[in-house]
Structures are given as structure tokens and as C-alpha cells.
Chains A and B, each alone.
Chain A
Amino acid sequence: MAGPQIVMYEEEFNQIQEVCEKLVKDANAIVVFIIDKNGQLIATAGEYENLDTTSLASLTAGNIAATGGMAKVLKENEFATQFHEGEHQNIHIQIVGQRVILVVIFDERSSLGLVRLRVRKASQSLTEIFERLVEKMQDPNMAAPLEEITDDDIDNLFND
């Protein structure tokens, strides 16, 4: 038993990507990305070429996990929103539908108010998309996607 897995399909991926790209524009953001709570990157949009998004994703997930742990100690529900203000850049972190994390990085060309507003709208769209995705994942016809992989395939991966 290796916990339930997340599966991402082309259709939903494109929809999620679209939401991210729209959010970059609407919020005047530098970068928008979505990760799952384990720190796996799901989608990225904006000027991310020079950004170590893998590191950011795992650190954000760690941060959310730690904050979630604090909430538990305080017998709170999770803290759904976080905001970190830097000298030049700011990070807005939002938990969406209790399952994924939406991160927006922005600078003085935008404002916290605008980001908040646009994040709220994007969250609604994302929640709907992820609900559909979860339904799809539970469809038995869609499940066990890696069945065709053989033991030899796995062995070959390690024979170098």
C-alpha cells in the first residue's frame, strides 16, 4: 500500500495551466505555480526560467506542512493563506480545495490587494478542475495506469 496516487491527465493539465497563465496576467505577477501538498510541481506560469521551481516547490510544501502542524497544535483548521513580504519580491501562498497549493510571486508592479482578489477567483476555477480530476482518478477504467510496465522495464532502469 503506497498511499493513493495523484494522476494528472492532459485535459485537466491544460485547464490548470490556463488558469495559471491567466492569473499571471490578471494579478501582474512574476510567477505563478501550483504544487501538491507533497511538494510535487503541477504547473508553472510566468517568468520562471531562472527560478529553481523544484526547490521552491519542496520548501513551500514544507512550509505549509509546518504551518499545518502549528494549526493542529492550536486546534485550528489549517491556515489557508500565507503572505511573505520581501524587499523586492513577495510571496502569496494559498491552499486550494484542501489539496493543492497556489503560489504567486509578485513585486511592486502589483499589490497584495490585487493578488488576493485574483487568487480568490483562480481558486474557484482550480477547485472545480481538481474535483473533476479526482472523479476521473476514481474511475476504474482510468486506474492502474502503469500496468503495462514490466519487471524487465524496471530492471533495465537500473542496469547502467
Chain B
Amino acid sequence: MSFINYSSREINCKIVYYGPGLCGKTTNLQYVYNRTNPDAKGKMISLATETERTLFFDFLPLSLGEIRGFKTRFHLYTVPGQVFYDASRKLILKGVDGVVFVADSQISRMEANIESLENLRDNLQEQGYDLDKLPYVVQYNKRDLPTVADLTEMREVLNTTHVPDFEAVATNGTGVFDTLKAVAKLVLTELKKGS
């Protein structure tokens, strides 16, 4: 749910990174955080377990610049990917304006990708959202690993609706900003339509 403030001339939007455990959601945010000017970002908050698995969420506030005198601010969140944190995932989806689905390209994680994507659809639906009507992009992460699934195959299974999609290596930043820009652009375009 975007928040448009005429008084401070700000547009605020919420983007959620979703995907199976260990697919690299937190790594995406960390890369964005490390590569953004201090004046364009706030503190990154990670509510994580002692083993650095996301427990509730990561949060990164980001400014992308001005449009017609309005400052655009994006709040990036990640969900915890581990299956048993489903209740938390639902909470974080509340008020979402755009979704990035981060898939783990390793063949061994294809099941987990599919399950997580179904879980995303279900949890959105529960709150009255339809993934097909939401600004939404897909990222195939960990392309640097030796045992990755074929890209065409991943597309067929994980991007049946042909939304913008990107190959990525979040640890070195490949594809990270392309993904973010694509979803941010979709969110602003949706706002312009006046939802």
C-alpha cells in the first residue's frame, strides 16, 4: 500500500523479496545497501537467528530520486524463507506494492522454488491480492554455481506469466540492481495508473 504524502511531497512504496530458504534474499538487500550512497539509504535492519537466517524480516529504506517534485522512497523487505516461518511471511506481505521472487538456481532447489512460489500465491490471495495483477519480477539467483538448472527450464516452471526476469549472482551483485529497478519501475507505473 503506497503512501503519498502531499505535505512532505513523498511517495513511499513497499517491495518484498520472497523465495525459498537460503536463495539469497538477504544477500540482495545487503548488496543494495553496500552499493548505495549514505544519503540515499537508511539503516538496514536484520531480524535474524544466530546463524544469520532471517527470523522475521530484513528492512532497507531507500531513496531513488525525485519525480515531479516528489521524493520516491522504497522500503525493501525480505521474508524468512524457511518453511515453518509462514505466519511471519504473511505479515510481511501486508501492504505490499511490488514483489521480487528470488529463485535458487541449483537443481536440488527446484522443488523448494516451486513450493515457495505456490506459497507466495496462496499468502497473497489470503489477503486479497492476486500475484498476476501485482508489480512482480523474478530473479534466478546463484548462477555462478556449477549445478544450476537450465535457464529455459527455470523460466518454464517459475515464470509462466512472462514477467520481467533476471539472472543474478547476488554475492557479487550481478543482476541485483536490474531486478530492483525493474520492480520499482513497475510499482511507479502502477501508481500512475491510480489504483
Contacts and interface: CB of A to CB of B under 8 A. Distances in A.
Interface of A: 1-10, 13-14, 36-40, 42, 52, 54-55, 58-59, 62, 65-66, 68-69, 143-149, 151, 153-158, 160
A13 B64 CA distance: 24
- Tell me whether chain B's interface is mostly helix, strand or loop, or mixed: mixed
Contacts, number: 142
B185 A40 contact: no
Interface in B47-87: 47, 56-57, 59, 61, 64-68, 70, 72, 75, 87
A39 B135 CA distance: 20
A41 B14 CA distance: 13
Given A1-B195, A39-B59, A66-B91, 14 more contacts: A4-B195, A9-B7, A38-B3, A40-B3, A40-B12, A42-B3, A54-B43, A58-B45, A62-B47, A66-B56, A66-B88, A147-B194, A151-B189, A153-B67
A145 B43 contact: no
Interface of B: 1-8, 11-12, 14, 42-43, 45, 47, 56-57, 59, 61, 64-68, 70, 72, 75, 87-88, 90-92, 94-98, 129-130, 133-135, 181, 184-185, 187-192, 194-195
B188 A4 contact: no
A72 B191 CA distance: 31
Nearest to A36: B3
B6 A7 contact: yes
Contact of B1 (A3, A154, A156): A3
> Most B CB atoms within 10 A — which of A7, A59, A157, A160?
A157
A43 to B, nearest CB: 9
Contacts of A155: 185
Nearest to A154: B188
Given A52-B42, A69-B87, A2 B4 contact: no
Contacts of A151: 189
A62 B56 contact: yes
A137 to B, nearest CB: 10
Contact of A37 (B59, B95, B97): B95
15 contacts: A1-B130, A3-B96, A3-B129, A6-B3, A8-B6, A38-B14, A39-B59, A40-B75, A55-B45, A58-B59, A65-B92, A66-B88, A69-B87, A148-B68, A157-B188
